[in-house]
Amino acid sequence: MQYDILIGIASTFGAGMLAQWVAWRFRLPAIVLLFSLGLIFGPGLGILHPSETMGWMFRPLVSLLVALVVFEGGMALDFRQLREAGEGVARLTMLALPINWVLGSLAARYVAHLEWGTSMLFGAIVVVTGPTVVLPLLRSAKLQPRVAAFLRWEAIVNDPLGAILAAVVLQLMMLHVDVHADVFFTHTLPDLLGAIAVSLSAGILPAYLVRYLFTRDLMPEILKTPMLISMALVIFSLCSLEMGGAGLMAVTIFGMALANLQIPGVAELRRMKESLVVLVVSVLFIMLTADLQRDILARLSIPIFALTVVVLFVVRPLGIFLSTLGTSMPWKEKLFVGWIAPRGIVAAAVAGEAGISLKEAGYQSADLIMPAVFSVIAVTMILHGFSLGPIARLLKLTLSNDPAIAILGASPWSINFASCLSRAGVPVLLVDNRSSALMPATRQDIPVLRAELLSQHGQESLEERPADYLIATTGDGIYNGMVCGHLAPTMGRQRVYQISPGVARLDFYHGLSRDARGKVLGEPAWNYTLFETLYEQGWRFMAIEATEESAPSFGTDENRLDILVVRRDGAILIRSAEDNDKAVPQPGDSMVSMLPPSAD
């Protein structure tokens, strides 16, 4: 028995990470792959039966893991993003939820012919758009910041609110009370407001305690991450005793408070938790999908599929349209947000527990709750997962999909480098904190960003115009390394470059640590002084089309400085002496090099 559990856990972890890597490598929605693996391992092959294998521990474990996901999502909610996104976010998180609840309940009643109580429970469950589904999709899509903020805030805020609403409706159904207006104002609304008050207190007060401990150096660095995770789990557990769903709201508020109290070091801890959450989401999706019983799938019927279609094409779009009337949201954003609403883990977990409780209470349509919710989850994950990117590009709600390069440091030679890349068709952004240094680039219509990349404002500004690569070209090698080390966790350590800080400083043992700097651009001898001197002597950057004769000489000709290769499909290969595999252009690619004045 213990070996079955061990093999099951190991297989789930391994398959989850493999699915995440395949999704990253081939730009596929990871949630769809994880969902498919769960169906194959569970109902398909019958290899995994998490609830049977783990027994009573399964549901509490799932709840705690979901709490971690929601907590990490709450740490991504910055109130400055809320102000920039405008009133649309408030409408989506406050007004759209009750509208979608009513519309979803009516659809369940008149399309799938469920009982009124069961219909209202179904409507409460499907109002949520899970952060476990939405956040991974947003990481892989280059949406405009405003649209991304809409979906992010809605997913994270509505998730616990929907869970609380479902818990209140379930409690009323267990008492066999007719759900009407009087009951709503005398029972449902007070319970909901009470849960919100408890969640606010349990989320905000511990955040201030964390700030007190962190800012007064009363907590060692090694204990900060374990303490935050433990506090989130304790807050979730205690608030869940008050009402189902209140725990999710409390940990969301706890994460939001930590993100907005400007606590030093929390940003670094959040990166560590993001990695943990990727693992948690992978395991959760496989486990919950694998736990679906074949008899649940057998209860899928034409009325349930019809209900799913109505939820996708009528309930959600109509709810978004009604809730955003009178706002400044363009019709493209309304259309996009009205379509993208994948449901995830919280909906599945609530539906599973609610279905069992209703069946024990004697509701005839209780057996249809899980198949109906599962149908919505499956269809929305597949359709929305694959269509988010194409539809966003069709509506022109994305940033450029071509690989872009951010160049840090505006100097005469770096401006010439940026101009050459721009003429070669590479999206480029020149970054500096001096307006006077950026003015010559502005005159040449080169996109610029005046910001300090080591500041939170600078990093957020760079995220709004996301760059795939960074090349630090200032005359301060230590500063270049600090910026590369600061941005490496988000951009990727193999995508941040800097001009050489000096040959002696590149020694792996005595020199600058590789973790504290970027990859060397070109050769170790190519420092700032060399580029500046060559530019003053008339050397300039040029993009030359590679031929069968010239391609092999890339990186070997001493009469030019070969920097990077732009593939015909837009991919970029930046040359570095620290690469094991050298950049080799193919005929038809563009070779960007610095050439002497005699070169044609």
pLDDT in tens, 392-450: 888 888 776 678 899 999 999 999 999 999 998 888 999 999 999 999 999 999 999 99
The confidence score (pLDDT) of residue 285 equals 78
Give me the mean pLDDT over the 7-27 stretch: 81
**CB distance 312 to 379 below 8 Å:** yes
Give me the mean pLDDT over the 567-588 stretch: 85
Quickly state the pLDDT bin for 514 (edges 50, 70, 90). confident
Judged against a pLDDT cut of 80, whether residue 585 lies above it is answered with yes
pLDDT in tens, 357-373: 677 667 777 777 878 88
The confidence score (pLDDT) of residue 479 equals 93
Give me the mean pLDDT over the 291-299 stretch: 68
The confidence score (pLDDT) of residue 4 equals 64
Q: Of 482, 468, 465, 582, whose CA–CA distance to 522 is shortest? A: 582
**CB distance 522 to 577 below 8 Å:** yes
- Burial of residue 64, with CB atoms counted within 10 A of its CB: 0-12 exposed, 13-18 middle, 19 or more buried: middle
Q: Phi and psi (nearest 5°) for 278?
A: -60, -45
Q: Where are the domains of the chain?
A: 1-395, 405-595
Look at residue 62 and give its three-state secondary structure. Answer: helix
pLDDT in tens, 136-186: 777 667 787 778 877 877 777 777 677 667 777 776 666 555 555 565 566
Give me the mean pLDDT over the 467-478 stretch: 91
Judged against a pLDDT cut of 90, whether residue 198 lies above it is answered with no
Judged against a pLDDT cut of 70, whether residue 84 lies above it is answered with no
Q: What is the DSSP letter of 469?
A: E
**CB distance 520 to 578 below 8 Å:** yes
- Burial of residue 181, with CB atoms counted within 10 A of its CB: 0-12 exposed, 13-18 middle, 19 or more buried: exposed
Give the residue, 431 or 128, on which the prediction is more confident: 431
**CB distance 221 to 139 below 8 Å:** no
Quickly state the pLDDT bin for 472 (edges 50, 70, 90). very high
Quickly state the pLDDT bin for 512 (edges 50, 70, 90). confident
**CB distance 411 to 473 below 8 Å:** yes
Bridge partners of 574? 564
Q: What is the Cβ-side half-sphere exposure of residue 555, based on CA atoms within 13 angstroms? A: 18
Judged against a pLDDT cut of 70, whether residue 356 lies above it is answered with no
pTM for this model (two decimals): 0.70
Fold of the 1-395 domain: Na+/H+ antiporter like fold (1.20.1530)
Give the residue, 260 or 444, on which the prediction is more confident: 444
Give the residue, 322 or 160, on which the prediction is more confident: 322
Length of the chain: 600
Quickly state the pLDDT bin for 529 (edges 50, 70, 90). very high
The confidence score (pLDDT) of residue 297 equals 67
Quickly state the pLDDT bin for 535 (edges 50, 70, 90). very high
Quickly state the pLDDT bin for 69 (edges 50, 70, 90). confident
Q: What is the DSSP letter of 398?
A: B
* DSSP class per residue in 504-550: GGG-TTTS--GGGS-EESB-TT--HHHHHHHHHTT-EEEEEE--TTT
Architecture of domain 405-595: 3-Layer(aba) Sandwich (3.40)
In whole angstroms, give the CA distance from residue 459 to residue 592.
27
In whole angstroms, give the CA distance from residue 341 to residue 151.
8
Q: Where are the alpha helices (DSSP H) in 216-265?
A: 221-242, 246-260
Point out the least confidently predicted range of 73-82, 91-100, 305-314, 490-499: 73-82
Give me the mean pLDDT over the 571-585 stretch: 85
Give me the mean pLDDT over the 568-595 stretch: 86
Highest mean pLDDT among 53-57, 70-74, 359-363, 467-471: 467-471
The confidence score (pLDDT) of residue 561 equals 92
Instruction: List Cα–Cα distances, 265 to 60, 198, 215, 260, 271, in angstroms.
Output: 31, 28, 10, 13, 10
Instruction: List Cα–Cα distances, 392 to 170, 377, 487, 514, 563, in angstroms.
Output: 37, 21, 27, 38, 34
In whole angstroms, give the CA distance from residue 583 to residue 565.
7
Average pLDDT, the chain: 81
Highest mean pLDDT among 29-33, 240-244, 295-299, 437-441: 437-441
pLDDT in tens, 96-123: 888 888 999 999 889 888 888 788 888 8
The confidence score (pLDDT) of residue 193 equals 73
Instruction: List Cα–Cα distances, 338 to 96, 176, 332, 379, in angstroms.
Output: 11, 34, 10, 15
Q: Of 487, 33, 130, 519, whose CA–CA distance to 342 is shortest? A: 130
Judged against a pLDDT cut of 90, whether residue 26 lies above it is answered with no
Q: Phi and psi (nearest 5°) for 561?
A: -105, 100
Quickly state the pLDDT bin for 1 (edges 50, 70, 90). low
Point out the least confidently predicted range of 77-91, 351-365, 444-458, 467-481: 77-91
The confidence score (pLDDT) of residue 139 equals 65
Judged against a pLDDT cut of 90, whether residue 35 lies above it is answered with no
Q: What tokens were used for 147?
A: 């649209």
Point out the least confidently predicted range of 140-144, 225-229, 432-436, 507-511: 507-511
In whole angstroms, give the CA distance from residue 593 to residue 134.
41
One-letter amino acid identity for 300?
A: L
Q: Phi and psi (nearest 5°) for 563?
A: -100, -55
The confidence score (pLDDT) of residue 238 equals 87
The confidence score (pLDDT) of residue 330 equals 84
Give the residue, 281 or 186, on which the prediction is more confident: 281
Judged against a pLDDT cut of 90, whether residue 469 lies above it is answered with yes
Give the residue, 65 or 310, on which the prediction is more confident: 310
User: Strand locations in 265-412, DSSP E?
Assistant: 405-408
Instruction: List Cα–Cα distances, 215 to 124, 228, 263, 265, in angstroms.
Output: 41, 15, 7, 10
Quickly state the pLDDT bin for 3 (edges 50, 70, 90). low
Q: Phi and psi (nearest 5°) for 499?
A: -70, 155
The confidence score (pLDDT) of residue 474 equals 93
